[in-house]
Amino acid sequence: MTIKTEPKSDIPPTPLAERLLQLISDHGPITVGDFLADALSHPQHGYYSTRDPFGTQGDFTTAPEISQIFGELIGAWLIESWEAIGAPSIFQLVEFGPGRGTLMKDILRVGQLRPKFLEAARITMIENSGRLRHAQQRALAEAHPHIVWRTSLDDIPNGPLLVVANEFFDCLPIRQFVKVDLEGDHPWRERLVGKNEDESGFAFELSEAAYPDPAGAPSPAPVEAIFESSDISRRLVEDLSDRLFQNKGRVLIIDYGHGRSGFGDTFQAVKRHEYCHPLETPGEVDITAHVDFAALARAGRSAGARVDGPVRQGDFLNRLGFTNRLDVLARAAGDEAENLVTGARRLIHPEEMGELFKVLCLSSPGMAEPAGFS
């Protein structure tokens, strides 16, 4: 059975590759998710710990880095949500995986239109890269008197809550299961990362352990189907939904992924805006997986949250007034108008980010539909 081509073997191992190869020698193959978690977040050698990957000079570009309109519309959406939870005089405003801090900066600039929203906000940035924390602290130095940096939802006080996470869930570890038999109670094996033949690099292999149908997998599954699941994402959505049960709030999740659970291998790596093999140079490339929005929606609903979406990012931004805002900015931009319009349209164009990127909202039970979902 083919379980994907092997990475090129003539590339010298990165420092992180050496550590992971040693780990595999000592303890056996690791899950795809363990590989991803270290590749992104290892404190010394992880991708996000060692660089600022964003922008045209970096490896990839995200919506807030492409156009300020993204953060402005999300800011307006958050103000509307703050009103929908009763305009509390103190609330927790939380961003997961804030990158360079650009999205929060744009949100807070729009917040100046509603001073009471800004006064009420107690901001927490959930970030595990020390390097990116510094970048965020620089970007937001003057932006708000109450901003703290944390690594987990557990560190955030109880109370009314508004959360935003753009391109965060794609960084969370997944596991991959491969269907190997059509018969029997345990027809799946896990796809693991082991060593290649000459032990100089990595190769995929299948677990000896066999598994029953993974929760959420469509049925029937053909032989060689790959199903991806993320327990960590599911648990985070459950924890957020518990919070929304205790106090009023909303959570906005934006990412690339699929609206229905399906089969396929989305474990991928990007370097300088090009795809490369995810096992090739761990620590030096961005490794992610597509987000299974149907799985997140199921987790939210079963934990008692109201769930809206997923909807396409293009539809969401258009409904929030993308075109009007673009017109206003373009009129003020003079010679730069054409660049500005071309860049911004990437956010909504179906062949760029408009369709692959989806938006999902969790709300406290009993709340009305949020803006942008119909």
Measured from the CB atom, the residue of 178 and 287 that comes closer to ligand SAH is 287
Measured from the CB atom, the residue of 130 and 184 that comes closer to ligand SAH is 130
β-strands 30-31, 188-195: how paired?
A: antiparallel
Spell out, one character per residue from 202 to 241, where the chain touches ligand SAH: x when CB under 6 A holds, - when not. ----------------------------------------
Minimum distance, C-beta of residue 134 to ligand SAH, in the bound complex (Å): 12
CB atoms within 10 A of CB 146: 13
Q: Which tokens is 275 given?
A: 């795809």
HSE at residue 35, side-chain half, CA atoms within 13 A, is 35
Measured from the CB atom, the residue of 188 and 357 that comes closer to ligand SAH is 357
Q: Contacts with ligand SAH in 102-121 (CB under 6 A)?
A: 103
Count of residues engaged in binding ligand SAH, rule: CB under 6 A? 20
Which span (8-16, 91-99, 108-116, 234-242) binds ligand SAH, by CB under 6 A?
Answer: 91-99
Residue 99 CA to residue 97 CA, distance in Å, equals 6
Backbone angles phi, psi at 206, to 5 degrees: -105, 145
Q: Can residue 256 be called a binding residue for ligand SAH (CB under 6 A)?
A: no
Measured from the CB atom, the residue of 14 and 41 that comes closer to ligand SAH is 41
Q: Can residue 255 be called a binding residue for ligand SAH (CB under 6 A)?
A: no
- Separation in Å, CA 122 to CA 130, 188, 281, 335, 364: 21, 46, 39, 39, 19
Residue 267 CA to residue 34 CA, distance in Å, equals 12
Spell out, one character per residue from 171 to 200, where the chain touches ligand SAH: x when CB under 6 A holds, - when not. x-----------------------------
Spell out, one character per residue from 301 to 340, where the chain touches ligand SAH: x when CB under 6 A holds, - when not. ----------------------------------------
Minimum distance, C-beta of residue 172 to ligand SAH, in the bound complex (Å): 6
Q: Contacts with ligand SAH in 17-76 (CB under 6 A)?
A: 40-41, 48, 54, 62, 64-65
Residue 230: exposure state from Cβ atoms within 10 A (0-12, 13-18, ≥19): buried
Which span (95-103, 222-230, 233-241, 306-314) binds ligand SAH, by CB under 6 A?
Answer: 95-103
- Alpha-carbon dihedral sign for residues 345, 346, 350, 355: negative
Q: Can residue 129 be called a binding residue for ligand SAH (CB under 6 A)?
A: yes
The residue count of the chain comes to: 374
Minimum distance, C-beta of residue 155 to ligand SAH, in the bound complex (Å): 12
Q: Which tokens is 239 given?
A: 């924890």
Residue 373 CA to residue 91 CA, distance in Å, equals 24
Quick check: 103 and 109 in contact, CB under 8 A?
Answer: no
Those residues whose C-beta lies under 8 Å from the C-beta of residue 194, and which sit 6 or more positions away, are 24, 28, 29, 202, 203, 204, 205
Residue 207: exposure state from Cβ atoms within 10 A (0-12, 13-18, ≥19): middle
Q: Can residue 101 be called a binding residue for ligand SAH (CB under 6 A)?
A: no
- Separation in Å, CA 13 to CA 7, 30, 166, 341: 12, 17, 31, 42
User: Exactly one of 82, 91, 117, 168 binds ligand SAH (CB under 6 A); which one?
Assistant: 168
User: Exactly one of 7, 29, 33, 97 binds ligand SAH (CB under 6 A); which one?
Assistant: 97
Measured from the CB atom, the residue of 99 and 187 that comes closer to ligand SAH is 99
Residue 224 CA to residue 204 CA, distance in Å, equals 14
Residue 242 CA to residue 251 CA, distance in Å, equals 12
User: Exactly one of 38, 72, 127, 280 binds ligand SAH (CB under 6 A); which one?
Assistant: 127
Q: Write out the residues near ligand SAH by the rule CB under 6 A.
A: 40-41, 48, 54, 62, 64-65, 97-99, 103, 126-129, 132, 166-168, 171
